[in-house]
């Protein structure tokens, strides 16, 4: 199971190489949050293209899915807060003219998860 970080609203003209460098910086920053089982190999970054160019680069929205941190786990709130802070800070450093927001979606395996690669959970 991997953690997926999805970016919307990236500035136009951002090259594939720039995104690869940025994703390396980002993964390096977030693996230091203290989140259990969060390693570079388990983090995937996706930069979705936009069908509209108006407003791109002004606001960047970041969504995190697949982060397995139970609400009952000690320091769960602090870990999520630090993760979102590091994502926003690293994004803002790379794209200083953009307003950046990060949302970490709650994830609970017992409420529904299935994967075709044998990672079924019931």
Q: Each residue of 101-120: pLDDT tens digit?
A: 999 887 766 666 667 766 55
Taking 60 as the threshold, does the pLDDT of residue 122 lie above it?
Answer: no
Domain spans of the chain, in order of start: 3-111
Average pLDDT over residues 78-95: 92
Question: Is 95 within 8 Å of 58 (Cβ atoms)?
Answer: no
Candidates 3.40.50.2300, 3.30.429.10, 1.25.50.20, 3.50.50.60; CATH matching 3-111: 3.30.429.10
């Amino acid at each position: 199971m991997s953690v997926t970080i999805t970016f919307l609203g990236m500035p136009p003209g951002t090259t594939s190489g720039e995104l690869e460098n940025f994703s390396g910086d980002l993964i390096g920053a977030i693996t230091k949050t203290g989140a259990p089982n969060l390693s570079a190999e388990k983090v995937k970054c996706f930069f979705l293209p936009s069908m509209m160019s108006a407003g791109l680069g002004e606001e960047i929205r970041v969504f995190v899915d697949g982060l397995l941190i139970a609400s009952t786990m000690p320091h769960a709130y602090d870990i999520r807060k630090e993760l979102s802070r590091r994502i926003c800070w690293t994004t803002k450093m790379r794209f200083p003219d953009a307003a950046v927001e990060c949302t970490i979606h709650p994830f609970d395996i017992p409420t529904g998860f299935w994967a075709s690669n044998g990672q079924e959970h019931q």
